[in-house]
Amino acid sequence: MFDYQPASNLLDNKTILITGAGDGIGRAAAVSFAGHGASVILAGRTVSRLEEVYDEIEALNPGRAIIHPLDLLTAGEEDFKVLANSIDEQFACLDGVLHNAAQLGPRSPIEHYPYAQWQELMQVNVNAAFLLTRALLAALNRSQSGRLLFTASSVGRQGRAYWGAYSVSKFAVEGLMQVLADELANTSAIRVNSINPGGTRTRMRAAAYPAENPATVPTPESLMPVYLYLMGPQGEALHGQALDARSFDPLKF
Q: What is the number of residues in the chain?
A: 253
CA–CA dist 195, 246 (Å, integer): 10
Q: Is 30 exposed, middle or buried (0-12, 13-18, 19+ CB in 10 A)?
A: buried
Q: Is the pLDDT of residue 214 over 70?
A: no
Instruction: Give a yes or no: residue 214 inside a domain.
Output: yes
CATH of residue 35: 3.40.50.720
Instruction: Give a yes or no: residue 129 inside a domain.
Output: no
Instruction: Give a yes or no: residue 7 inside a domain.
Output: no
At 157 the pLDDT is 96
CA–CA dist 99, 194 (Å, integer): 9
Instruction: Give a yes or no: residue 150 inside a domain.
Output: yes
Could you report the per-residue pLDDT of 108-127, keeping only the tens digit for each? 999 999 999 999 999 999 99
Sort strands 191-196 and 242-244 into parallel, antiparallel or unpaired. Answer: parallel
- Which range has the worst mean pLDDT, 15-24, 40-49, 129-138, 208-217? 208-217
Instruction: Give a yes or no: residue 127 inside a domain.
Output: no
Q: Is the pLDDT of residue 218 over 80?
A: no
Instruction: Give a yes or no: residue 4 inside a domain.
Output: no
Active-site residue flag, 229: no
Could you report the per-residue pLDDT of 235-252, keeping only the tens digit for each? 999 999 999 999 989 888
DSSP conformation class of 233: G
At 183 the pLDDT is 98
Global pTM value: 0.94
Instruction: Give a yes or no: residue 125 inside a domain.
Output: no
Nearest to 104 by CA among 20, 223, 3: 20
- Enclosing domain of residue 89: 15-120+135-246
| Of 54, 166, 227, 229, catalytic | 166
Contacts with 17 (C-beta within 8 Å, 6 or more apart), sequence order: 40, 41, 43, 68, 87, 94, 96, 97, 98, 136
Q: Domain tally for the chain?
A: 1
pLDDT band at residue 210 under the 50/70/90 scheme: low
At 1 the pLDDT is 75
Nearest to 39 by CA among 66, 9, 58, 70: 66
Instruction: Give a yes or no: residue 203 inside a domain.
Output: yes
CA–CA dist 227, 10 (Å, integer): 12
Per-residue CA distances from 219 to 5, 30, 199, 222, 230 (Å): 18, 15, 9, 5, 19
